[in-house]
Amino acid sequence: MQQSRFSDIRYPTDIKLLNETREQTEIVIDALYQQVKEQLPKKPRTYRREARTAYLQIVKQRKPNSKKIRKAMRQQLGYVRRNLAHIDTLIAAGAKLSELKKNLYWNLLVVSEVYRQQQLMYEQGCHRIDDRIVSITQPHVRPIVSGKSGTPVEFGAKLSVSCVDGHAFLDHLSWNNFNESGDLQQQVELFKSRFGHYPERLSSKMCKV
């Protein structure tokens, strides 16, 4: 039996994720405003330069303390909150989400959930939440604590695969973490259903592909 966890995403931090969330809301605002610019003479102000400067000030620091990080989080949450309110205003003015490009509409749904999760974690002073989104472009990816030296956290699907005579059989796939030891009995029964008998011996191996 083998397990695999891997996804090609940068290691996420809350502040970087919020910065990407803010940038996505700015793109949505620009697109929605084009639909109603005749009704609204001025585009809602997003303070994107100030927000970008505030973000760079914290990420350029080698080891910012928790107080500085929390302040930066509060700032970025405020910018995102204001942008989401601007989006509601543009919709009220006649802009239609249905006219957005599909990927942009999808990203808006994702960043709205990212904001909700990040705001809740900020209020509770924690870094953990159920079904936590760590990538806007791959919102299904979940962090999996592996405990390995150098890579304590991995991202991607976790697989249980049975390897028999060079052939691989996918028995279990999940984007959420699970205890692979619970798959052993089921995999043994699947082996019997496939080959008509139980395996002579079992081996377990962890690998990353």
Q: Give the model's pLDDT for residue 90.
A: 96
Q: Give the model's pLDDT for residue 5.
A: 44
Q: Of all helices (H) and strands (E), which one includes residue 3?
A: strand 2-3
- Dmax over CA atoms of the chain, in Å, equals 77
| Structure tokens belonging to residue 61 | 């620091």
| Residue 2 belongs to some domain of the structure | no
Question: Are residues 65 and 116 both part of a single domain?
Answer: yes
How many structural domains does the chain have?
A: 2
Question: Are residues 25 and 118 both part of a single domain?
Answer: yes
Q: Give the model's pLDDT for residue 65.
A: 92
| Structure tokens belonging to residue 40 | 């609204």
CB 171 within 8 A of CB 161: yes
| Residue 138 belongs to some domain of the structure | no
**Entry pTM:** 0.68
Q: Give the model's pLDDT for residue 185.
A: 72
Question: Are residues 69 and 107 both part of a single domain?
Answer: yes
Q: Is the pLDDT of residue 23 over 80?
A: yes
CA–CA separation, 31 and 42 (whole Å): 14
Domain of residue 189: give its range: 143-206
Q: Give the model's pLDDT for residue 82.
A: 97
Is the model more confident about 65 or about 179? 65
Question: Are residues 41 and 100 both part of a single domain?
Answer: yes
Tell me the mean pLDDT in the region 107-129: 93
Q: Is the pLDDT of residue 1 over 50?
A: no
